[in-house]
Amino acid sequence: MEKFTCDFCGKNSDEVEKIFSAEKSHICNECVETCSLVLHKSQLQKAKSEFQKGLSIPTKLKEHLDNYVIGQNEAKKVLSVALYSHYKRIDKPVHNNIEIEKSNILLVGPTGSGKTLLAKSLAKIMDVPFAVADATALTEAGYVGEDVESILSRLLASADFDLEKAQKGIIYIDEIDKIANKSESATSGRDVSGEGVQQGLLKILEGGDVYVPLKGSRKSSSAETVLFDTTHVLFICGGAFVGLVDDEDTKKKNKTKEMGFLTSKEVVASSKEIESKDLINFGLIPEFIGRIPVITTLNPLTIDDLVKVLTEPKNAIIKQYQALFELDGVDLEFSDDALQKIAEMADEKGVGARGLRGIIEKIMLPLQYELPAKENVQGCKITKDYIDGNSEVELIYLPKEKN
């Protein structure tokens, strides 16, 4: 048998699995795989570049958010426009001698409605560093807890300490309603995590130079710091603001409308829009609100929304579990009534989409433990009866081979 040598790497037929020949040219399977990988990476890079060219307009941004976040169409539109305007401002901070100010964003909505996911998805779209901070962990300077500068430290770390890249990132501050100034009703003592923290956040929200520790959450004389300019950092704040929308007037309005033939969705839509004065009454100081001009409200997710959250997004929980089971050679399926049951369980807990993973983890744990030890299982179907404990899980076995 004639032996050939690869014209690319010089290996002969004995050193590789296969050599492909065409007239006087020869190439081995290893070089084919290498070329295929290089071509694939090149195509991905080109597709990414072409995709990001169209991301500057709000409609494209919303389309991308639709792949990750269920419902909340109005909030997604507001965020898309805000992001579009923000990154235009970075390119042209001054136009025709007019300085364009930064528009930070406030998301108001119940737990599990998608506030954090929206912020995280925006950062993914723009391919910029992203950091999450919990406002309840922040304290006024000089007290035990985290300084506001620690938020910038996290963003810097997420950018692999590339200062220029970090200064164009996105920060999401959760539970912002928990730092509302309620010291007037307090019996005694200073409002360590209330107005003091709001005052501390003012400078970084507006945009300015801040000395940020490279490691750790607190500055000290021995800590290495870097001068961080927050001018182009987009801040998105989120909070439930319980009781802010459901005031007496709104309750009366909703009660009246519920006596007709409106659906629950229409009742939700009848709630008033949140204004700056409402936030001031809640306990946020005017200076703080003035630095967050974009305010949008998220609605609670319905049971139908929760079912969609389970199955439709690109990184849906059900898709993740199906991928895990696929690695064991098992096709995982959920019946429609099972998905409905899981959504109802999350709705009863009142935690929105955030509670879905915990519920599914509990359902799937016994199967994840037992199935890898079973032989010839090719399919597994989760039903409502199985979730309710009224039946065993439905397993599909490979047909037995005939001797």
Q: Which residues pair with 380 in a beta bridge?
A: 332, 395
- Alpha-carbon distance 133 to 156, whole Å? 13
Q: Which residue has the tokens 């792949």?
A: 67
Report which of 50, 51, 16 is spatially closest to residue 31, judged by C-alpha positions: 16
CA distances 364 to 182, 351, 369, Å, are: 43, 20, 9
Helix (H) or strand (E) holding 227: strand 225-229
Output the six-digit token pair for 120: 């995280």
Largest CA distance in the chain: 95
Q: Is 6 annotated as a binding residue?
A: yes
DSSP 32-47: HHHHHHHHHHHHHHHH
With beta carbons less than 8 A apart as the criterion, state whether 75 and 60 touch.
no
Give CA angle at 231 (227, 234), nearest 5°: 115
> Residues with Cβ < 8 Å from 136, sequence gap 6 or more?
175, 178, 179, 193
Contacts 24+ apart (CB under 8 A), 74-78: 74/296, 74/297, 75/107, 75/109, 75/118, 75/296, 75/297, 75/298, 76/118, 78/105, 78/294, 78/296
- Alpha-carbon distance 243 to 285, whole Å? 18
- Alpha-carbon distance 326 to 312, whole Å? 18
DSSP 123-152: HHHHT--EEEEEGGGB--TTSSSB-THHHH
With beta carbons less than 8 A apart as the criterion, state whether 77 and 69 touch.
no
Q: Is 31 annotated as a binding residue?
A: yes
Q: Which residues are annotated as a binding site for Zn(2+)?
A: 6, 9, 28, 31
Q: Which residues are annotated as a binding site?
A: 6, 9, 28, 31
